[in-house]
Amino acid sequence: MDQIFAKFRTLPVEEQLSPSLTRRRYADFPVLIVDHPRAGQACLSIQGGQLVTWRPAAARPDDPGVLWSADPDLWRRGTAVRGGVPLCWPWFGPSGPAGSPSHGFARTTDWELTAWEEDADRVVVECTLRPSPATRAVWPEEFVLVARYTLTDTCLIEIEDRGDHTATAALHTYVRIGDLGRAHLAGLGPEHTDGLTRRRYEDEDGTLTPVDHVERFQTAPAPVTTVRDEVLGRIVALAHHDHSDVVVWNPGAELARGMADLAPQEHRHFVCAETARLGRPLVAEEGRPGRLAVELRMTET
């Protein structure tokens, strides 16, 4: 069982939204908990409008869940939660205005729960982010950003960017793995730029087995990236939609030692495969929102 879900489902219920969806609170973090017989188990953080964990209903009893997230005891209000699927928007990396948060403000701002529905096969949760004095101080655009989570035997994550502006974005998926060096990525495409050396590489076979610090911008990825895990005995497939890039990242041992929200050796248990709009930014126009999505599916090997 996913350890974060196991911890969160013991929290008092503040509101029963539907038979399988509840609103609860962990310390000062409002959270949503999904526990559905067919759509599986999931936790979402209102800060960041962020899926933190997801475990499909068909998973083996000992399966720890598809997503890795940091121990909630290490979460800090106003600081991005490391893990799950952070929503990087309206910029990626440190490219925002001076003094603004890396990867944008969507990860550190409270979202509004605006819709939900449930039936025998699925749960859908929708969260919305709108401008505030804090967002206008670093990005003066008017916008409505909607994140929609559709849980069935897969997990579909969609963002819809409404307004009249251009932005970069990424769905920064932390795929849980058994051990770094024993998880193999495929479908990355024939070319990438190395974020550490700034060198460009071409004519590759689209595969990678990360063993330490990696930061790669795959600029011609296949529609589906797979992560084959020797230790957990499974394959996680990420089907990308409306993307231009896939970013692969792990901090490696040295960088991880300086991260307060990573326990020792925890970097060995995730690899990030990020559905991104970097080379081709999101363009939102009147009546024509920008879109980005990823669908996660887990199968046993």
Active-site residues: which are they? Answer: 172, 274
For 22-91, give the DSSP string: EEEEETTEEEEEEEETTTEEEEEETBTTEEEEEE-TTS-TT---SB-B--GGG--TTSPPPBSB-EE-S-
For residues 51 and 32, the answer to whether their CB atoms sit within 8 Å is: no
b/e string for 212-234 if b means 16 or more Cβ within 10 A?
ebbbbbbbbbbeebbbbbeebeb
Which residue, 36, 31, 23, 37, is CA-closest to 4? 31
Instruction: Name the residue with tokens 């067919």.
Output: 38
* Cα(156)–Cα(130) distance, integer angstroms: 22
Which residue, 219, 29, 47, 113, is CA-closest to 11? 29
